């Protein structure tokens, strides 16, 4: 039901985490400078442009705490990732929720208009829960329309599942747009959801403001070890991402053949664009022993599972 990677940790990653378990009596670094260095070197970015946090949701909270005034306004499309309204509440802000366009597209034109008097705007690309991908050109145009003193959070939690030929080169954009924070995570493609490590890339000024809200001792030594071991095993992890995208496309094809309206997806999940069939769908999935995230009157999100679970879904819902 959560958008997790269905595959267990790589043996090399699990072994490194287990090895570090002997040091649990020790504190991690006060602020995670070493982890920032590791991530910056991996990205080929200066360290002063990187922020890390407890998952990408933690980095988002830090940036919003730094940039949003109490009573200020945060704009985002809706429906969207469940945490955005919670982050707005936590920062004492008002949410301005802009309805999605057909096909799960975030309405960038309306969001840009709403941003004029906002403290922050959040764009999720590709979008959770519909899997819709906004093209690089339209995103860049949107970013250039948002006032330069409004924080833009570009949440790319699923970006590694986007095929490389259409993946926006967004990590380069903060050089041009100092108010842009590009958010990424080790939770999805890298399969480390339980280790809670996310990162952001931005201008040095915005990274410094975001890092000022870093909770001391918040990133555990085990999490740092898991990230380092994962970066050493990047080829294996990329192969897993390719496997999951092949499974995603197999699942989408089979479900469409079974008569379900399934949107194109650039993520590790699929969206059933079936507002009037959600209950029927939920019953069939429960019968197959599979849980999906159902939104009555809207649709349902199904996370790509392992091959056995995907076969079970196709057995129940396919042609």
We find the least distance from the C-beta atom of residue 180 to ligand PMP, in angstroms, to be 16
Q: Which is nearer to ligand PMP, 187 or 211 (CB)?
A: 187
Q: Which stretch binds ligand PMP (CB under 6 A): 12-20, 21-29, 185-193, 300-308?
A: 185-193
**Residue in 16, 155, 228, 247 binding ligand PMP, rule: CB under 6 A:** 155
Number of other residues whose CB lies within 10 A of the CB of residue 10: 19
Q: Which is nearer to ligand PMP, 57 or 294 (CB)?
A: 57
**Residue in 91, 106, 115, 185 binding ligand PMP, rule: CB under 6 A:** 185
Residue nearest to ligand PMP (CB): 55
Verify binding: residue 198, ligand PMP, rule CB under 6 A. yes
Q: Which stretch binds ligand PMP (CB under 6 A): 6-14, 55-63, 276-284, 292-300?
A: 55-63
**Residue in 187, 211, 230, 310 binding ligand PMP, rule: CB under 6 A:** 187
Q: What does the alpha-carbon distance between residue 84 and residue 3 come to, in Å, rounded to a whole number?
A: 16
Verify binding: residue 125, ligand PMP, rule CB under 6 A. no
We find the least distance from the C-beta atom of residue 61 to ligand PMP, in angstroms, to be 10
Verify binding: residue 5, ligand PMP, rule CB under 6 A. no
Q: Which is nearer to ligand PMP, 3 or 210 (CB)?
A: 3
Q: Which is nearer to ligand PMP, 187 or 202 (CB)?
A: 187
Q: Which stretch binds ligand PMP (CB under 6 A): 53-61, 100-108, 140-148, 238-246?
A: 53-61
Q: What does the alpha-carbon distance between residue 106 and residue 108 come to, in Å, rounded to a whole number?
A: 6
Count, residues in the chain: 319
Asked whether 255 and 318 are in contact (CB, 8 A), the reply is yes
Nearest to 198 by CA among 159, 168, 164: 159
**Residue in 157, 201, 222, 294 binding ligand PMP, rule: CB under 6 A:** 157
Q: Which distant-in-sequence residues (6+ apart) come within 8 Å of 9 by Cβ?
A: 17, 191, 192, 226
We find the least distance from the C-beta atom of residue 4 to ligand PMP, in angstroms, to be 8
* Interface with ligand PMP in residues 262-301 (CB under 6 A): none
Dihedrals phi, psi of 65, to nearest 5 degrees: -60, -35
Q: What does the alpha-carbon distance between residue 65 and residue 57 come to, in Å, rounded to a whole number?
A: 12
Terminal-to-terminal C-alpha distance of the chain? 23
Asked whether 266 and 298 are in contact (CB, 8 A), the reply is no
Asked whether 191 and 241 are in contact (CB, 8 A), the reply is no
We find the least distance from the C-beta atom of residue 192 to ligand PMP, in angstroms, to be 8
Q: Which distant-in-sequence residues (6+ apart) come within 8 Å of 150 by Cβ?
A: 115, 118, 119, 120, 121, 179
Verify binding: residue 130, ligand PMP, rule CB under 6 A. no
**Residue in 5, 91, 106, 128 binding ligand PMP, rule: CB under 6 A:** 128
Number of other residues whose CB lies within 10 A of the CB of residue 254: 19
**Residue 99 to residues 9, 76, 106, 204, 302, Cα–Cα distance (Å):** 37, 9, 8, 33, 21
Cis peptide before 126 (omega within 30 of 0): yes
Verify binding: residue 131, ligand PMP, rule CB under 6 A. no
Verify binding: residue 245, ligand PMP, rule CB under 6 A. no
Query: Contact residues for ligand PMP (CB under 6 A)?
Result: 3, 55-57, 81, 124, 128, 155, 157, 185, 187, 193, 198
């Amino acid at each position: 039901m959560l958008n997790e990677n269905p595959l267990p940790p790589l043996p090399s990653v699990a072994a490194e985490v287990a090895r570090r378990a002997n040091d649990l009596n020790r504190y991690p670094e006060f602020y995670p400078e070493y982890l920032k260095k590791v991530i910056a070197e991996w990205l080929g970015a200066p360290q002063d442009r990187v922020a890390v946090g407890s998952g990408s949701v933690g980095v988002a909270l830090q940036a919003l705490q730094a940039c949003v005034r109490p009573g200020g306004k945060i704009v985002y499309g809706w429906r969207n990732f469940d945490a955005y309204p919670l982050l707005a509440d936590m920062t004492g802000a008002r949410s301005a929720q802009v309805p999605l366009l057909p096909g799960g597209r975030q309405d960038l034109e309306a969001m840009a208009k709403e941003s004029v008097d906002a403290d922050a705007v959040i764009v999720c690309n590709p979008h959770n829960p519909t899997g819709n991908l906004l093209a690089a050109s339209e995103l860049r145009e949107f970013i250039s329309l948002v006032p330069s003193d409004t924080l833009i959070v570009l949440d790319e939690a699923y970006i590694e599942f986007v095929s490389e030929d259409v993946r926006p080169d967004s990590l380069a954009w903060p050089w041009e747009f100092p108010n842009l924070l590009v958010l990424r995570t080790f939770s999805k493609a890298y399969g480390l959801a339980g280790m809670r490590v996310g990162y952001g890339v931005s201008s040095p000024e915005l990274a410094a403001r975001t890092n000022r809200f870093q909770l001391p001792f918040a990133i555990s030594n085990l999490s740092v070890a898991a990230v380092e071991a994962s970066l050493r095993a990047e080829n294996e992890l990329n192969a897993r991402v390719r496997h999951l995208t092949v499974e995603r496309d197999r699942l989408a094809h089979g479900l469409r053949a079974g008569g379900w309206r399934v949107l194109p997806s650039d993520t590790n999940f699929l969206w059933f664009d079936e507002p009037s069939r959600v209950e029927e769908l939920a019953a069939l999935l429960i019968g197959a022993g599979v849980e999906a995230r159902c939104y009555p009157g809207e649709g349902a999100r199904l996370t790509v599972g392992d091959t056995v679970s995907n076969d079970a879904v196709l057995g129940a819902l396919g042609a």
